Chain A
Amino acid sequence: MKKTILFLLGVMVMTSFTACSPEEDIKNPDFQPYKLFEDFTSNTTDGAVINLAGWTNFAEAGTVKWNQGIYYSDKYAEFTSFQSGQAVNIAWLVSPKINVESNSKLAFDVAQAYVSTAANSIELLVSTDFDGTNVTAANWTVVNFTKPPLNFDTNFDFFSSGLIDLSTYANQDVYLAFKVKGSGTNTSLDGTYSIDNVRIINKN
């Protein structure tokens, strides 16, 4: 009799142990997947016009658009008005629609080459009312980011834009645009801009 009690006691205690498994407590390190990640790996031909699904490549002035850039294993988006033959070149590369949350952050890599004046510019703009086709009809707001240094020593070197806070657009659908301005005829405005690794992620 005593032995039976002992046995039952043992079983009861053991089942109480197995009921809660410690493995259920295991969590991954904190991780959020990207809301947007574009590293232009789909580029096939250096210099060909970028035609990415979901992105809009628009020439506001002149005919030069954003092109595919390929340098060895590096792939990126590139714009240059060099020898375009046009007095003014303005091109937009607009992202797909992104739903922004309160802790969303944007970062990308940006490089310049032969840019000598600020007027030969690259800007980051955000719109909440872009209809997907008409770029100039939408309202765009400039967002600051860390510009690459205008220094021939760092031609073509990628610098981080910094981590850009998008909390002002929390809970809205936005489009990002990379707008460059240059000239094919004015040699002080015919530099090259490249962008790569456009990424948006929730991060505290």
Chain B
Amino acid sequence: MKKLVISILFVMQVCFVFAQTGTGFSGKVVDSKTQKPLQNVVATIQNSNLTEITDAEGKFVFKSVPAGSQLLVVKSDGYKDQLLAIDVEQGKILDLGVVVLEEDVTEEQQLSLVTITDNDLGDDNSGSESTSGLLQASRDAFQQAAAFNWGLARFRIRGLDNENATTMINGVAMNKIYDGRPQWGNWGGLNDATRNQEFTMGSAPSDYTFGGILGTQEINTRASIYRPGSRVSFSGTNTNYSWRTMGTHASGMNKNGWAFVVSASRRWAQEGYFEGTDYSANSVFASVEKKINEKHSLNFTSIYAENSRGRNSPNTDEVNRIAGYRYNSYWGYQDGKKRNSRDRDVTEPILMLNHFWKVTNKTNITSGITHQFGKIGSSRIDNQGADNPDPTYYRNLPSYYTSLWNPDDYTDFQGDDPANIALAADAKFLNNRQLNWNEMYQANLSTADGHSAYILYEDRTDDKLWTANTVINSQLADNIVLNAGGTFKSLKSHNFANLLDLLGGQYYEDYDNFQVGNEQQSDLNNPNRKVGVGDTFAYNYNLMATTFEAFTQFKFTYKKVDFYLAQTYTKNQYQREGLYKNGLYPTNSFGKGDKISFENFGFKGGLTYKISGRHFLNFNGVYLTKAPSMRNVFPNARLNNNITLGIENENISSLDASYVIRTPKFKSRITAYMSSIKNATETSFFFGEGIFDDDNGDGGDAFVAETVTNIEKRNIGLELGMEYQLTSTIKLTANAAYGEYTYNNNPNVVLNNDNLASPTNTNPIIDFGQANLKGYRLSGGPQTAASFGIEYRDPKFWWIGANANYLANNYLDVSALLRTQNFFRNPLDNEGLPFPEATNERAKELLKQKEFNNFTLVNLTGGKSWKIKSSTFGFFASLNNVFDIQYKTGGFEQARNANFREVNQDVSSGTPAFAPKYFYGFGRSYFLNLYVNF
């Protein structure tokens, strides 16, 4: 009976082969090492919707392919893509034979790449973090260099901020509405689970969204596309954290139509690279798919990533000279343990339900409903009526004494008086470098009524976000593809201060001790509150946003030319709802404020001219307008409903041209680009001295919110990436980036001074006019980078690589206020006339933008893998910054000295008290990952 069945099947099989009609081709995919067939490999015909997946025998077949030359892409994660040029003949199914896939080592690198997170510059508590470039690189050689080699130096591709890039999960954009940036920490520690990614660069077309000017990253978590199997890894490093374990299992689609993927990881460190930076992160991922029928499939994805880390401080050169470059002022000893006062806790789970609908062979519609909730908290110490506990508070440093000038005689330098030199030698910081928790507890215990003079609190942002979206992908004709989609988002962001620890006191009094009378109250509806742990205080408000976005895109493919056109429309509406009636702004802080709407549109297009199968030219251009972020629309959101005066949509445009070569041995791309962002806005908060007139003897000092509007930024440059396979085992890479990222106009500066708020002045802003920023470089990473690398791949499955990288032209962020007319204005002059000692030459010296030192980093990488039965064991190791170069990655001018005299005196002293603060990169660091796939 069995034999009969088998022989019938055999005959049927043969008949089936003969009976196969149609136009197309078939093939079998195997692993280059083992020669075993690979299942779940994705084969796609480029520039079309046609996709097939290999079965358990590694086989795939395409039966209705347009005749003519087609490009077949065969990919599977963990393997290098295979590109095959095929001539399809009408009425025939061509047998391609065996398609061999080679293991991709860089995949290992990607899975091992440690998330690099910038610290918040200054004191802003935006929810997202600005990480360096892309976390995981695409196959493009230049982008790989940018991510792996230059990422640690905070290199940003094209000098653009991450708000210009779109990061999506299953077609849903994950950029935060508050500041436009993706919050990668939301899926941190889930490298395995998020390994299925698609990238586009610049404004090149994406299948899922219109995007911006820094490309798109789409993370696909559909359970059935993961190659079945399990993976466990264990890593050690000395960067952000010390240890990581991760485990992942993908089931593949079973015969009942179910597929699932689960992954979990833990990262932790008692102390990371910088002092006192503790780290603890747990992540869990689950994706479940049910194939309802051939046309419909449902997938549910849940992502939970909680991350708690102690941050490190930017420091002045003086502090780093005294305490070392790993110094961190945010921690102190408590009961023998290091306790960091500035913790950042992020827990924002994501739940996503996707529906995949294969409407016809040529049309797919993917829809989704997503809910994200959770919290972000940034902790810090508050001191009320007590000394500032910061060990690096300027009065604790030697420079305080050696930079003193006679307040009554601006020509009289007192920093060199023997008395001051003696005081400097005894400065508090020299022997008390860290936070003194004990001193704070003591202060709290000795207040007369038991209230806390010091507390630990956190600035919280608790978001609730609903997203509904749909993406259509349709092959309209043989050579025309339509992409279209729409997304609707609704956000309620609750922001408030949350008391964490009374530090030994009984309660905390909720009032602002820098104000008087009613103006002290944070909530006039509940005045004179005494608050305790877990209470909300100081400020409390909601930000609501609804956004709608739609796009359409047409892609045309011809023999010599491919081109595309796309357009988009977006509408954003924002509103603030105050939950406290603030004493400084009693009439415009409580309740719902005005709604403000922004409508925007965008167009883009581009073409690829195929000089030959191996050489092509690529052009892209885009023009779009973009709504300002909520953060810039509400400049003083903690205290009032005010909207930034005259805020407008940003105008963004970009052009790029590339020449690409792809031959088996040599791959290269050179790109020239230019992008322009107009009408941008930046906000910052600081305490400034000498800003206003000295009306009440305070020298014109105040704590202010600075809003700079109408900023125009221009980023132009070149990118060059080259990859040359010297021999079958040795590969050489060379990459270079040259950029000029500058301010291209003189934007406007407005300062908000809460001290001037009154019933008749509910928007106490002062216009400082134009800031002469034109020509200054934008800050944020090296504008020039070059790398040379060599990699050896031994046939016995081990490999090593080395690369040397040169990074240069990184500039310090400049203060806009210092470059307004106010710089010369003497606050003691009754007519606001300039300082008598000011000269143009000296001003030019004082205002000159600081450039960071150039430096060279050398990295080594290597790995080996073994196959035992059907499992693979292996390790990946990297040693970064082999020569332990100390380099600064970023920093900012302290705007405290806000005029010529203050800056001149401080700088002339030789030991400035308000010098810029800097962040450093990691010195010599390692990463070792041990893994097993089975």
Contact = CB atoms under 8 A, between A and B. Distances in A.
B847 A14 contact: no
Interface in B205-263: none
Contacts of B668: 6
A26 B772 contact: yes
Nearest to A109: B830
Given A10-B718, A29-B820, A22 B740 contact: yes
Given A22-B777, A26-B775, A17 B718 contact: yes
Contacts of B831: 107, 160, 162-163
A29 B672 contact: no
A76 B332 CA distance: 52
A25 interface: yes
A37 B819 contact: no
Contacts of A34: 833-834, 836
A118 interface: no
Contacts of A199: 833, 836
A183 B185 CA distance: 82
A137 interface: no
Interface in A1-43: 2-3, 6, 9-10, 13-14, 17, 22-34, 37, 39, 41
Interface string A74-91: 000000000000000000
B670 A9 contact: yes
B839 to A, nearest CB: 6
- From A22, A24, A32, A33, residue with most partner B Cβ within 10 Å: A22
B408 A73 contact: yes
Given A33-B838, A37-B836, A73-B408, A25 B775 contact: yes
Nearest to A5: B659
- Identify whether the interface residues of B are mostly helix, strand, loop, or mixed: mixed
A30 B777 CA distance: 20
A166 interface: no
Interface string B124-143: 00000000000000000000
B792 interface: no
Contacts of A162: 831
A41 B820 CA distance: 29
B836 A28 contact: no
A118 to B, nearest CB: 23
B840 A197 contact: no
A28 B847 contact: yes
A201 interface: yes
A197 B772 CA distance: 29
A10 B670 contact: yes
Interface string B365-384: 00000000000000000000
Interface residues of B, number: 42
B830 A22 contact: no
Q: How large is the interface on A (under 10, 10 to 19, 20 to 34, 35 or more residues)?
A: 35 or more
Contacts of A33: 834, 838-840
Interface in A73-115: 73, 107, 109
Contact of A17 (B409, B717, B833, B839): B717
A28 B775 contact: no
A147 interface: no
Nearest to B769: A29
B742 A22 contact: yes
A109 to B, nearest CB: 6
Interface string B734-749: 0000101010000000
Nearest to B839: A33
A24 B720 contact: no
B776 A28 contact: no
B930 interface: no
- From A9, A29, A201, residue with most partner B Cβ within 10 Å: A29
Interface in A155-204: 158-160, 162-163, 197, 199, 201, 203
Contact of B843 (A6, A28, A203): A28
A29 B716 contact: no
Contacts of B776: 22, 26
B774 interface: yes
Contacts of A3: 666
B836 A39 contact: yes
Contacts of B615: 2
Given A13-B718, A107-B831, A29 B840 contact: no
25 contacts: A2-B615, A2-B661, A6-B661, A22-B740, A22-B776, A25-B774, A26-B772, A26-B776, A26-B849, A27-B774, A28-B840, A28-B847, A29-B822, A29-B824, A31-B838, A33-B840, A34-B833, A34-B834, A37-B836, A39-B836, A41-B411, A107-B831, A160-B830, A201-B833, A203-B833
**Which 7 A/B pairs are nearest by Cβ-Cβ distance?**
A25-B775, A73-B408, A160-B830, A26-B775, A22-B742, A37-B836, A107-B831
Interface of B: 408-409, 411, 615, 659, 661, 666, 668, 670, 672, 716-718, 720, 738, 740, 742, 771-772, 774-777, 819-824, 829-831, 833-834, 836, 838-840, 843-844, 847, 849
